[in-house]
Chain A
Amino acid sequence: MSLGAAEVISKTRNASVGGDKPPLIDIRNLRVTFPSGGAEPKAVLKGIDLAVQPGEIVGLVGESGAGKTTLARSILGLPPSPGRIAGGEVHFEGRQILSLSESELRRLRGHRLSVVVPNPRAELNPLLKVGDQIAAMAKIHLGVGGKEARRMALEILREVQIPDPERRMDAYPHELSGGMAQRVVIAMALICSPAFVISDDATSGLDVTVQAQILALLAKLAADHGSAMLFISRDVGITAHFCDRIAVLFSGEIVEIAPREPLFLEPAHPYTLMLLAAFSHSPKLRDSWSVPDTGRRRERNAGCQYADRCPIAQPVCRTQRPPFAEIGPGHFVRCYFPVRHA
């Protein structure tokens, strides 16, 4: 399957975005801290606000260390150790899920809210057959019997386009290629038809051609199963192909969020520009915005997180946190001096 198909799918769904329906998942002021050697714990997520509509695909891009994985796992109530959720709410299907008991939360994970992880060969239990691992999801969450679970597992293996699925059911993870293991992980995430799927950098480490296939598959399957998706990636270019909206994460903060076209055509935050420039083929854009990381980063910053690296920062940027201002329909940016496009 080519990328083109995915593009078509996401375009047809663009129209439904931005309605007045209540969001499927609504993350409000989510804050996560890590204990540090000093007196104050280190803030890794500094108040994330993000809402996703049913069926919508939202991209989340940012460099490594920005807090992408922390966000993905914290939505499921499992911040990476030794992190701790320090505040905020996650509303999902009418419930504030961070206040649920561990067992209620567990029943949501993999069932209504699931996650696709990178490096799938390490994520699958090496001693269990992949068919059993997929079927276990259905058994645990849907309460179906062994036979039915196996039938469902076989069906979803077909859906993720694994060749010779009957035989693969009895394969062990070490017998699969990276791309195939990734399909197995996707099958596990989707077998219960979850309302919301988080893809956490799911294709990093795979071949470029395999990456494209997997992404297209992921987008198609999310649509088939009616799942909304948070698509996390380091590569802003990938998100252009099929995300309805894109959020840019920098140092634990969403600095800009916009529907796809405005974000790529009229990026407002200097950091977004820098990101786009880094992936851009236009030498002019690259030269004007590719500012090397000077490494000057203070531990805590009362103002804009990006101020130390920003080429257009003013004194005010370092003292006061900029507001999250709407500069276009659905286009928000956290910057005093958003870049304007003629």
Chain B
Amino acid sequence: MSSKLRLLVRLAVIRPRFAIGYLIVITITLLAIFAPAITPYSPTEADSVSFLQPPDATHLFGTDNVGMDIFSRSIYAPRIDLTIAILGTLLSALAGGSVGAVVGFYSSGRGIRVWLSFAVMRAADVLQAFPVFVFAIALVASLGQSIQTVVLAIAFVNAPIYLRLMRSQVLSIRSMRYVEASQVNGLSDMKTIVRHIIPNAMAPVLAQLSVNVGWGILLTSALSFVGAGVRAPTPEWGSMIAMGFQNVVTGQWWPSMFPGAMLAITVFGFSLVGASIEVLADPSKRRQLLSDAREHRRRADLPVEGA
């Protein structure tokens, strides 16, 4: 076993929740990819005879009020939830991040560019002052309800985060010596941004990406829950929870509880992955973690050496 791999295993042992985070994300992704092979029933076809069946051997998670198999639907759901959330998040990072990098680059000095950066930041203030959910729902309503517009809504409400993040990163990196040096050496502004600044600002952006995919899933399911996102019978966690809403009150908990639990676990997994990237991206925290891992190995190896 290579030493890097061994260190990874140590890290998983001393910070089990990071390992759990990656495990959750990988498992959910695999389930979504291989859904057709795993699921016993079609996710969209209703068996009108056996509706609201409690969980048993034939229907692992039971059936909903029209007789669709909840297990199959829950496994298929991340296909749409994850796709929407990942696309929306990437789009927001790409749009917000690139504008943020440029704005950060031009935030000092003088002239029209400074004014433009100022205006962009104030526009971001305005966007962030909106109640997120009402804003997203209004976006979907005005653009027409479809998967693409949900993606756009996620991108739009998250873009200011990346705008600010990238801007502050650029501002702090810009003042560093090697960036100044490269400018003295005659690199153009654009080349400086692409070659030096963006690679260095990547780590916090990556951490934010993972957390935001989790939020994106939450927002997608919330929109679907109120009927403004993905519509039934397309398997989607939020709309499944909405379908089972009335049943919960009367005691049939399974149509809502299973998809909700999967939704929560998935978002939790992405938060953990985000937290782990945050730690690994922060040099001092990473050093602490690695020294803990070595300490752990030393203690684990000690009896062997002594024997």
Q: Taking beta carbons and an 8 Å cutoff, which residues of A are in contact with B?
A: 37, 39
Contact = CB atoms under 8 A, between A and B. Distances in A.
Contacts of A39: 298
B294 A37 contact: yes
Interchain residue pairs A-B with the least CB separation, the first 3:
A37-B291, A39-B298, A37-B294
B61 to A, nearest CB: 50
Interface residues of B, number: 3
A37 B294 CA distance: 8
A283 B305 CA distance: 57
Contacts of B291: 37
3 contacts: A37-B291, A37-B294, A39-B298
Contacts of B294: 37
A37 B298 CA distance: 11
A37 B291 CA distance: 7
Interface string B277-307: 0000000000000010010001000000000
A37 B288 CA distance: 10
Contacts of A37: 291, 294
A185 B262 CA distance: 58
A39 B291 CA distance: 11
B292 to A, nearest CB: 11
A39 B298 CA distance: 8
A112 B109 CA distance: 58
B169 to A, nearest CB: 29
Contacts of B298: 39
Nearest to B298: A39
Nearest to A36: B291
A37 B297 CA distance: 12
B198 to A, nearest CB: 33
A39 B297 CA distance: 11
A30 to B, nearest CB: 26
B304 to A, nearest CB: 15
A155 B298 CA distance: 58
B10 to A, nearest CB: 15
A32 to B, nearest CB: 20
B266 to A, nearest CB: 38
Nearest to B290: A37
A51 B50 CA distance: 89
A39 B299 CA distance: 10
A137 B134 CA distance: 54
A42 to B, nearest CB: 13
B288 to A, nearest CB: 11
A147 to B, nearest CB: 48
Nearest to B291: A37
B148 to A, nearest CB: 52
A82 B32 CA distance: 47
B149 to A, nearest CB: 50
A37 B292 CA distance: 9
A39 B306 CA distance: 14
A24 to B, nearest CB: 41
A322 to B, nearest CB: 33
Nearest to A39: B298
A107 to B, nearest CB: 35
A39 B294 CA distance: 10
Interface in B137-155: none
B233 to A, nearest CB: 58
A37 B293 CA distance: 11
B30 to A, nearest CB: 38
B119 to A, nearest CB: 36
A318 B43 CA distance: 79
